[in-house]
Structure 1
Amino acid sequence: MASINTVGARDRLKPRREPYWHKLSAGCYLGYRRLTSESAGSWLARCRGDDEKQQYHALGTFDDMAPAMRFDVASKAAREWFEHLGRGGSTDEITVGEACRRYLKKLKEDGRDGTAKDAQGRFNRWVFDDKRLERLPLTKITPRVLDDWRSKLAGTLAMPQDKAKEATRKRSAASLNRDMSNLKAALNLALADGYITSSTAWDTKLRPVEAASGKREVYLDHAQRQKLVRHAASDIGTFIRAMSALPLRPGALAARTVADFEPRLKNLRIGNDKNGKPRTIPLPKETADFIAGQCKNKLPAAPIFARADGAAWNKDSWKGPMRDAVTAAELPSGATAYSLRHSTITDLISAHGLDLLTVAKLADTSLPMIEKHYGHLRQAHAANALAALAI
């Protein structure tokens, strides 16, 4: 067997397509292929699988390393691949970018189109634009790589709502958490599918910043919400009224079309909220009559709540009118469209005593999340219930 462990030995090898093999351990070999006398040559690994078939893995040229170091570096890479297979890893190798695309595909297959759209935007900005990370094989991902990526992400300035203005503020910890959680979810899916056999690289480096969400949205009571509607332009005022009546995310409500409303049963179908699972909300008569009025003389595909020009609302179009209404009504400046969702959830629990599980289902969020942020509102109800037990 020809030697490949020194520069001189490799230089004396006759160019050929069949690799020259060096035994690293029982059944495991490091190969070196040299197609021309001028080429640096490429390295690959070979081992026998459980089915007794030979398995091959291209390692690369390592031409960024000094020639004298390439054998040792290639040997290390080959052993890492053998260990990966030994832990049940797949023989197929994918990159970080491919892992992210597989995650997007999985979200869409699960019907989570809204989540997929959000994740796509984050991957476009923070993974696909970073070609070094996007093209990095999963088996080569290390804590250092992810630590560098996280540091770069944390130091990026936040894009202002007004795109004409210059970015001056660093992105919030909550935004950082959302970006990291998407990459972590993609890597965890690849782990579950055997493309990588350890989560060590991201268990600590992609750990979320604690208490990043800070204070919850501004709470607006019933009277303040009524005042907001009165001081708003008619189109956004109608949308605000709807947001004040249902604990939905603004985007989910804005996406509702006439076809989603069933006037006979007084139901509103929600099909593309954050988790993507369709659900139907029963409406009280007053809310159903209000929505029926918005649907009148509209085609099934038309948005129930439309802007003055007939287009559906979105997060970019409702921000300005909402801000103007808040200012005109002299309400807290931090109030946003999401404040209305927070306010309706708060009232359902504290004022109307609705159980947390039902609220979680109506709001399309998890019970642990409702318990975390709104569980304290049940304390008064618990105290009253305990008082009723007294003899």
Structure 2
Amino acid sequence: MALDLSKITERDKLKAQREPHWQRLRAGCFLGFRPSKRGGKGSWIARAYDEDSGKYRLKALGDFGGLTGNDVFTTAKREAEAFAELVEAGGQVRAKVETVADACKAYAESRPEAEARFKRYVDSDPLAKVKLAKLRRRHLREWRERLEKQPAQVSRNKEGERSTRERAASTVNRDMAVLRAALAQFLSPGAPNSEAAWQEALKPIPNANGRRTLYLDLAERRKLVENASAEAEPFVRALCLLPLRPGALAALTAGDFDKRTEELTIGKDKTGKPRRIQVPADAAKLLAAQAKDKLPSAPLFMRSNGKPWDKNTWKLPIAAAVRAAGLPADATAYTLRHSTITDLVSLGLPLLTIAQISGTSAEMIERHYGHLASNAAVKALAELAL
């Protein structure tokens, strides 16, 4: 027998529980009632199906404390139907943004790297609970001081001990940048030199470009691949062949590589926007071998347990290969990306092309590798000398 929430006697018989008791109003539209455990009036919830996302959307309607009798159900039903119409019409239903945590969550919806930073440095910090309306410069200054004191994790050895270093100024700048961007979506800059000037506490540290200068040449990279474990070798080889971020490479699935056109779709990266690139023959051969006999959703580079690589699992095998190959101890997965980009610039490829392939901006390539492009031009001019 279908539940009829319009009857007060029937609502009074319902058991208090976390999941609301639902009444279907029409296809894709439901009205829910959650009885109070403390003898109160109980609360109402609307649920509507969103065809665009293939999911149900929920909205808390409250307890309608100012209404009595049948007016409560009538009003709840009307609001549930209005909510369903909004969802069905493609209206965007967003949670109310009140706190710093809310602002960060809204900003990170399409930015996975920002979401990861917020989880590490904001969500568990007292700053997260501060209301945006009451946010002051001192709140962010205190958060910044706590951030700067946190050591940055480098790696951990086989015994599980963490290896850390002092947090670099460039790292602090990157952490502050995403928070500043998130808050700027909901707050206007405060008056300069006042407590309302929240933005002043997040000014970047000057001259703190965290440029990676360690370079491994082709012979050193081959040696690294040769000393990598059988499990990690394909992943390390791919890092040496393509100038991708390790996280973007680890997130690839078998369906991201098109063997027919030798094109690769990078969907999860720092920019948050997917891009499609043509890969060279050696890389295409490696990617085809990794994608063979796998479902499109399976990790392209799969560990022996069937799971994809991540920063906590690729560090140890790469560190072991670095030691076995006798390479500089501070060589990391990102060193391979830097080394590959260095070679591409030195070979004279257009900076814009390199930026598009590597998933960064031409400005960043120019800033960190522009001198190499100049050197390549000088070499080319020298060959023209008579």
Q: Shorter-normalised TM-score: what interval?
A: 0.5 to 0.7
1:99 aligned onto 2:103: yes
Q: Secondary structure at the match of 2:201?
A: coil
Separation in 2, partners of 1:282, 1:167:
38
Aligned to 2:178: 182
Q: Secondary structure at the match of 2:138?
A: helix
Separation in 2, partners of 1:140, 1:167:
38
> In 2, are the aligned partners of 1:157 and 1:167 still within 8 Å (CA)?
no
Any residues of structure 2 matched to 1:218-367 within 5 Å, and which? 218-350=214-346, 352-367=347-362
Cα distance 1:357–1:135, how it changes in 2: closer, same or farther (>3 A)? same
* Superposition deviation, residue 237 in structure 1: 1.4
Separation in 1, partners of 2:295, 2:303:
16
CA RMSD between the two structures: 2.6
Any residues of structure 2 matched to 1:141-220 within 5 Å, and which? 141-159=135-153, 161-162=155-156, 164-165=160-161, 169-191=165-187, 196=188, 198=190, 200=192, 201-220=197-216
Deviations 1:292-325 (A, max 9, x none): 1222222222222222233211111110000000
Cα distance 1:215–1:357, how it changes in 2: closer, same or farther (>3 A)? closer
> In 2, are the aligned partners of 1:217 and 1:338 still within 8 Å (CA)?
no
* Superposition deviation, residue 231 in structure 1: 1.1
Instruction: Give the letter for the 1:143 counterpart.
Output: R
Instruction: Give the letter for the 1:255 counterpart.
Output: A
| The 10-residue stretch of structure 1 (332-341 or 211-220) with the greater mean CA deviation from structure 2 | 211-220
> In 1, are the aligned partners of 2:176 and 2:202 still within 8 Å (CA)?
yes
Instruction: Give the letter for the 2:129 counterpart.
Output: R
* Superposition deviation, residue 380 in structure 1: 1.8
Identity of aligned residues (%): 48
Instruction: Give the letter for the 2:98 counterpart.
Output: I
Aligned to 1:43: none
* Superposition deviation, residue 365 in structure 1: 0.4
Deviations 1:215-234 (A, max 9, x none): 41521111111111111111
Separation in 2, partners of 1:361, 1:300:
25
Cα distance 1:167–1:315, how it changes in 2: closer, same or farther (>3 A)? closer
Instruction: Give the letter for the 1:334 counterpart.
Output: D
Normalising by structure 2, we get a TM-score of 0.67
Cα distance 1:160–1:258, how it changes in 2: closer, same or farther (>3 A)? closer
> In 2, are the aligned partners of 1:251 and 1:314 still within 8 Å (CA)?
yes
Q: Structure with the greater relative contact order (CA < 8 A, sep ≥ 6): 1 or 2?
A: 1
How many residues of Structure 1 are paired with residues of Structure 2 in the alignment?
285
Cα distance 1:230–1:186, how it changes in 2: closer, same or farther (>3 A)? same
Aligned with residue 380 of structure 1, among 361, 375, 386 = 375
Separation in 2, partners of 1:181, 1:386:
41
Instruction: Give the letter for the 1:154 counterpart.
Output: E
* Superposition deviation, residue 146 in structure 1: 2.0
Aligned to 1:22: none
Cα distance 1:230–1:157, how it changes in 2: closer, same or farther (>3 A)? closer
Normalising by structure 1, we get a TM-score of 0.66
> In 1, are the aligned partners of 2:171 and 2:210 still within 8 Å (CA)?
no
Aligned to 1:369: 364
* Superposition deviation, residue 247 in structure 1: 0.5
* Superposition deviation, residue 188 in structure 1: 1.1
> In 2, are the aligned partners of 1:255 and 1:303 still within 8 Å (CA)?
yes
Cα distance 1:121–1:293, how it changes in 2: closer, same or farther (>3 A)? closer
Structure 1: state its 5+ residue gaps.
1-91
> In 2, are the aligned partners of 1:97 and 1:134 still within 8 Å (CA)?
yes
* Superposition deviation, residue 167 in structure 1: 7.8
Cα distance 1:178–1:214, how it changes in 2: closer, same or farther (>3 A)? closer
Deviations 1:247-276 (A, max 9, x none): 001111111111111111111111111112
Separation in 1, partners of 2:201, 2:191:
10
Instruction: Give the letter for the 1:175 counterpart.
Output: T
> In 2, are the aligned partners of 1:263 and 1:292 still within 8 Å (CA)?
yes
Instruction: Give the letter for the 1:246 counterpart.
Output: L
Which structure 1 residue ranges, 4+ long, deviate > 4 Å from structure 2? Answer: 166-169, 384-391
* Superposition deviation, residue 386 in structure 1: 5.2
Cα distance 1:297–1:130, how it changes in 2: closer, same or farther (>3 A)? closer
> In 2, are the aligned partners of 1:188 and 1:199 still within 8 Å (CA)?
no
Give the structure with higher Rg (CA). Answer: 1
Instruction: Give the letter for the 2:339 counterpart.
Output: S
Deviations 1:192-239 (A, max 9, x none): xxxx45374244321122333444152111111111111111121111
Separation in 2, partners of 1:172, 1:101:
26
Separation in 1, partners of 2:97, 2:313:
43
Separation in 1, partners of 2:147, 2:379:
48
Separation in 2, partners of 1:280, 1:306:
21
Aligned to 2:115: 120
Deviations 1:100-127 (A, max 9, x none): 222223xx2xxx3x32xxx234333433
